[in-house]
Structure 1
Amino acid sequence: MNSEEYIAERVDSQISWYSSRSRQAQLRFKWLRGFEIAAAASIPLLAGFGRDVLPVDIVVAVLGALIALASALVSLNQYQENWIEYRTCAESLKHEKFLFLTGAEPYGSDAAFSLFVNRIEALISKENRSWSQNVQSVVERAESG
């Protein structure tokens, strides 16, 4: 496999995957946190002004349960952590790719392609280990709590 094939088949596909997953995690995190904020802010308003119009006790209880559910989903799925880690990995892969393509250090030698592959694979492996540790952490918290 030459450098063009490796970049197209491995590097670009990984950059695309991490960028896509980062965007997805960011959107889910922000949507769920936004919902939590809006729902929590509406509870005092309902309690103070909605007594004559709505069954406030039921609405407040439902909002409280939905807030807890949204918070649990954010924690369980680690959307914020994944957003940041996936974005960091995608940007690191892009950085290495551009250094390699321009022949900048550390890619100024005859062994540039081999070094490039090793560094790219190390970044991907590091992210895989981090993901595995995060999943294990969630499982351990769920089992203990």
Structure 2
Amino acid sequence: MKDRLEDQIEWYDKKSMQHQKKYKNMKVVIIILAPAIPILSVLTKFNSLYVTLLIATAGGIITILEGLLSLGKHQENYIEYRRICETLKHEKYQYYTKTGVYSEGDTFKLLVERTESIISQENINWANMQNKAKGETNNG
């Protein structure tokens, strides 16, 4: 149980938090820089090279961060990893309390089968996403 289920719950929890942190940090920077551009553009009437450079830099940073968010799929990953983590926890708690599908029969075998099915489905989804990305790269 510890070697598989607990480790998987911990892994998905950790990965979800990492992606959520990356997503939110990048979005905070974007939210701060985006309104700075029109505010700074008012100052360009003073013909300041520094203001022009600040505006260009802010726009460039926003573009880079949006590209990284799209490429890394941080929002989608943190939501999906959180969903899987919570699903695995749900299975564990039902198993421990002998409720739901774990109320009778070979409950450990059922837990293993259901847990592996959840993990396997995520792996299949990941592989499909990688193949789709490769296809888009080769066709684009």
Give the helix-richer structure, 1 or 2: 2
Bigger mean CA deviation after superposition, 135-144 or 112-121: 135-144
Q: 2:121 maps to which residue?
A: 126
CA apart distance, 1:131 = 1.9
Structure 2 counterpart of 1:28, from 22, 28, 38: 22
How many Å separate the matches in 2 of 1:144 and 1:44?
Answer: 38
Secondary structure of the 1:106 match is: helix
Deviations 1:42-92 (A, max 9, x none): 001111136546622221111111111000000001000000000000000
Secondary structure of the 1:82 match is: helix
Correspondence 1:129-144 to 2 at 5 A: 129-144=124-139
Q: 2:34 maps to which residue?
A: 40
Indicate how the Cα distance of structure 1 residues 143 and 66 shifts in structure 2: closer, same or farther if over 3 A, else same. farther
- The reply to whether residue 67 of structure 1 matches residue 47 of structure 2 is no
TM-score normalised over the length of structure 2: 0.90
How many Å separate the matches in 2 of 1:66 and 1:35?
Answer: 9
TM-score normalised over the length of structure 1: 0.87
| 8 Å Cα contact 1:25/1:79 also seen in 2 | yes
- The reply to whether residue 11 of structure 1 matches residue 5 of structure 2 is yes
The one-letter amino acid of 1:28's match is K
The one-letter amino acid of 1:87's match is R
- The reply to whether residue 95 of structure 1 matches residue 87 of structure 2 is no
Unaligned runs of 5+ in 2: none
CA apart distance, 1:144 = 4.5
Instruction: Please report the RMSD computed on the Cα atoms of aligned residues, expressed in angstroms.
Output: 1.7
Correspondence 1:46-61 to 2 at 5 A: 46-49=40-43, 52=46, 55-61=50-56
